[in-house]
Chains A and B, each alone.
Chain A
Amino acid sequence: MLDTLLLSRIQFAANISFHILFPTITIALGWLLVYFKIRFDLSQHPVWMRAYRFWVKVFALTFALGVVSGITMSFQFGTNWPGFMETVGNIAGPLLAYEILTAFFLEATMLGIMLFGFNKVPRWLHTLATLLVAIGTTLSAFWILVLNSWMQTPVGFEMRDGVAHATDWLAIIFNPSFPYRFTHMLLASALTVCFLVAGISAYRLYRGDNKKAPRLTLKTALFTAAVLAPTQAFVGDLHGLNTLQHQPQKIAAMEGIWHTQQGAPLVLFAIPDAETQTNRFALEIPKLASLILTHDLNGELKGINEFPDAHPPVAPVFYSFRVMVGIGVLMLAVAWWCSLRLYRKGELSPLQYKVLIGMSFSGWIATLAGWYVTEIGRQPYLVYGVLKTSDAVTTVASEQVALTLIMYLALYVVLLLAYVKTLFWLAKRAIEVEEYDLSLPGLPEQKAKLANEGVEA
């Protein structure tokens, strides 16, 4: 029988991995909807409403999955990691409470108005509700990333009798790694949404959808991705430098540096071997890691050997980092390749459509890989330097943890399949809807004009 610690970690990792998929989409998709809605309010052109109406369905479904998996998380902080709240509850508690009070209620209530209120409330209120939902999801990301960043780089507290007490709330909120992690995550969300929107729009166009809305959303998504992908590479680099300063052992694991060395090579690929503390089959570029991280060809990078009892397992961090960066580079290349063609010819090639369809959920993989880097890279600590994961674990019998783990996993697999299938089904169904269904309630005042003249723009 596996022990409770390992099972609790697997269960928590499964839940939080499943959960993060959905906020990653809703954070940025909320803002995209605000953009569509404002463009519609300003131009009264139904194509913006068409885009809004399609993507608000995706938003609603995604949000629901995010909410229900988030409720699970709120229970598991206590059920799986009682030691976490016992030790750092004085800091984690208020942060979580503020997230619930300022973000959860706001987004949940406004979502009702946004989804059902189009014909019930004044136009401005509906736009405001859309905006407040976007603000709510971003605020929620703010608070939870404050907490996560504080767990990585804890400051602004003192330990009394083994319990952390807050001494400086501003320092806690704007802790050293927070600005980098928050920006990195917001951009990750934006890129994930860009590729989701591009992929689904490409699917519609590839299937012969001849309408304006998917063309418009494809263009918006691709051009945004072309700008954001290089920005993300830049922010990611800054985040890496920040990590080097505060958590050098995480960098050592990411780069596969077993022994402290000067002029460390950039390991493109290898199989890290924990037994012999070496990389097998390494493919390296000499001195590049030192150059990137210390801006000096012969700069010194600390290796795993410097942290005998307190370093993360190398292989998962090392591989996850390569998956994340690999997808990031692929996104950058595809965004530029497709954007240029779209800019020049106004249309993509069938191959490009297929590539975009295939990359619809690439943001998920990159985001998960990124989180594995930072979370596994923090081990063996739960709160870096303060609390070890093994000291926080529950005493619930491992059989109970195993049983619930199996139930959750089965449920998550089913829901994930249903989610992806439903998204493509929605896209397929949208192909058959009429371009501008003028019978729809609440469409622009210029309905009569549109009906007579047709739609130009």
Chain B
Amino acid sequence: MNFLTAENLALVFAGLTALAVLLYAILDGYDLGVGITLPMQQEAWRDTAIASIGPFWDANETWLVLAVGLLLVAFPAAHSAILHALYLPAALLLIGLILRGVAFDFRAKVKPERKIRWDWTFKFGSLLATFSQGFMLGIYVMGLEYSVGSVVFASFSGLCVTAAYAMIGNAWLIGKTSGDLQRHAIRQCKLAGVWTLAGILAVSAINPLVNANVYQVWTEPPLAYLFAAIPLLCFAMFALGYLALKRLPLPDDRGAWLPFFICKVIFVCSFVGLALSFYPFVVPNQMTLYEAASSKESLTIIFFGAVVVIPIIAAYTAVAYYAFRGKADGLKYY
């Protein structure tokens, strides 16, 4: 295999890791978002909201395992540097994920009077996990350094990610529910969308000011003209989303999945924007992906496995989403 040079493999695995992170952000993003904004007003709402993500959350979280696993396997030096610097927030992320993951099951199985306690655990765990992710992203963007400025920025980033997940989570609920709960989700989605937009604008402004090469990437012609399409598309999506949310719900539930689709595009744009800002670094300004990659033989072995297995994963994931299409009202654990 001539094209499988060490450099190409490093690039391929950087792409795969990035894809896993992006898929994780979208997929676990919507189920964490449902958790963060879990409607505490009515038990029936909570049951429906949680049932809508019940069949999917476990597989969604597996993308995180894959992302961390690929980073560990393909870029061990970067994995070590990143998780070393993010040791405490990563522990908080894990505790959040543990709490919400078990709350899913405990809430359906404990004595009825204890259920509400696990619902709060679910909400709190989702919030902790999401905020930690945003915080980690913030510290990562700031070059894995802790100072007053970077911690403030990271906390702000934690809020932005929380808003973004809340937005996509409610967009999911709009598609998956009907009636009062759907109207509730539409209101929540609008609110979260405003905060997400503010967050993206602020990060887009701060990031190039802090990192010199980020400034260069976005201002140096001719590529900068091309790259400008990304933020333009992103902001167009916000405008479209605002118009859509104003009109929803429509008769026959038309357009109920439009907000979720728009959120996905926004996530992709934001992610691609970040990835372009930092390429070719895996640890911002310190380590390029070529420097961090592990041995060629090992990457080749995984490459062939991934080429065979990932389409299969995509296929059965599609089967699962097809099986659980439609509204979530009738979905129940048994």
* Residues in chain B near residue A326, CB distance under 8 A: none
Structural contact, B62 and A104, CB atoms closer than 8 A: yes
* B64 CB → nearest A CB, Å: 7
Whether, in the assembled complex, A89 has its beta carbon less than 8 Å from a beta carbon of chain B, the answer is yes
Whether, in the assembled complex, A395 has its beta carbon less than 8 Å from a beta carbon of chain B, the answer is yes
- Residue from the list A78, A106, A169 in contact with B72, Cβ < 8 A: A78
Whether, in the assembled complex, B58 has its beta carbon less than 8 Å from a beta carbon of chain A, the answer is yes
CA gap between A163 and B77 in the complex, in Å:
13
Identify the B interface with A (CB < 8 A).
Answer: 51, 54-56, 58-59, 61-62, 64-66, 68-70, 72-74, 76-77, 79-80, 83-84, 87-88, 90-91, 94-95, 97-99, 101-102, 104-106, 109-111, 294-295, 297-298, 301-302, 305-306, 309-310, 313, 316-317, 319-320, 323-324, 330-334
Given A64-B104, A89-B298, A425-B110, the answer on whether A112 and B313 have CB atoms closer than 8 Å is no
Question: Residue-by-residue, is A398-411 near B (CB-CB < 8 Å gives 1, otherwise 0)?
Answer: 00100110011001
- Residue from the list A68, A169, A407 in contact with B102, Cβ < 8 A: A68
Structural contact, B76 and A93, CB atoms closer than 8 A: yes
Whether, in the assembled complex, A108 has its beta carbon less than 8 Å from a beta carbon of chain B, the answer is yes
CA gap between A2 and B35 in the complex, in Å:
38
Structural contact, B106 and A93, CB atoms closer than 8 A: no
Structural contact, A60 and B105, CB atoms closer than 8 A: yes
Question: Residue-by-residue, is A117-128 near B (CB-CB < 8 Å gives 1, otherwise 0)?
Answer: 111110001000
CA gap between A415 and B54 in the complex, in Å:
20
Structural contact, A61 and B73, CB atoms closer than 8 A: no
* Residues in chain A near residue B109, CB distance under 8 A: 57, 61, 422, 425-426
- Residue from the list B65, B88, B90, B298 in contact with A93, Cβ < 8 A: B298
Q: How many A residues touch B, CB cutoff 8 Å?
A: 69
- Residue from the list B65, B80, B90, B110 in contact with A422, Cβ < 8 A: B110
Given A93-B72, A115-B333, A118-B334, the answer on whether A78 and B79 have CB atoms closer than 8 Å is yes
Structural contact, A100 and B65, CB atoms closer than 8 A: yes
Q: For the complex, would chain B's binding face be called helix, strand, loop or mixed by DSSP majority?
A: helix
Q: Which of B70, B80, B94 has the most CB atoms of chain A within a 10 A radius of its CB?
A: B94
Q: CB-nearest residue of chain A relative to B301?
A: A94
Q: Tally of A-B residue pairs with Cβ under 8 A?
A: 202
* Residues in chain A near residue B301, CB distance under 8 A: 94, 166, 169
Structural contact, B331 and A116, CB atoms closer than 8 A: yes
* B133 CB → nearest A CB, Å: 13
CA gap between A97 and B305 in the complex, in Å:
9
Structural contact, B80 and A82, CB atoms closer than 8 A: yes
5 contacts between A and B (CB under 8 A): A68-B98, A68-B102, A85-B76, A106-B313, A113-B319
Whether, in the assembled complex, A7 has its beta carbon less than 8 Å from a beta carbon of chain B, the answer is no
* Residues in chain A near residue B87, CB distance under 8 A: 79, 396, 400, 404
Given contact pairs A82-B76, A104-B65, A116-B332, a sample of 13 additional A-B residue pairs in the complex whose CB atoms are under 8 Å apart: A53-B334, A57-B333, A65-B101, A78-B79, A79-B84, A96-B72, A97-B70, A97-B306, A109-B316, A112-B58, A408-B91, A411-B95, A425-B109
Binds B, one of A69-77, A230-238, A277-285, A331-339: A69-77
Structural contact, A75 and B316, CB atoms closer than 8 A: no
* Residues in chain B near residue A120, CB distance under 8 A: 323-324, 331
Whether, in the assembled complex, A289 has its beta carbon less than 8 Å from a beta carbon of chain B, the answer is no
Q: CB-nearest residue of chain B relative to A105?
A: B313
Structural contact, A75 and B95, CB atoms closer than 8 A: no
Structural contact, B305 and A101, CB atoms closer than 8 A: yes
* Residues in chain B near residue A101, CB distance under 8 A: 66, 305-306, 309-310, 313
Structural contact, B323 and A71, CB atoms closer than 8 A: no
Whether, in the assembled complex, A111 has its beta carbon less than 8 Å from a beta carbon of chain B, the answer is yes
Q: Which of B61, B72, B297 has the most CB atoms of chain A within a 10 A radius of its CB?
A: B72
CA gap between A365 and B316 in the complex, in Å:
37
Q: CB-nearest residue of chain B relative to A412?
A: B98
Structural contact, A116 and B324, CB atoms closer than 8 A: yes
CA gap between A106 and B62 in the complex, in Å:
10
CA gap between A61 and B80 in the complex, in Å:
32
Which residues of chain A from 380 to 409 have any CB-CB distance to chain B below 8 Å in the complex? 394-396, 400, 403-404, 407-408
- Residue from the list B54, B110, B309 in contact with A102, Cβ < 8 A: B309
Given A112-B54, A115-B333, A120-B323, the answer on whether A97 and B316 have CB atoms closer than 8 Å is no
Structural contact, A85 and B79, CB atoms closer than 8 A: yes
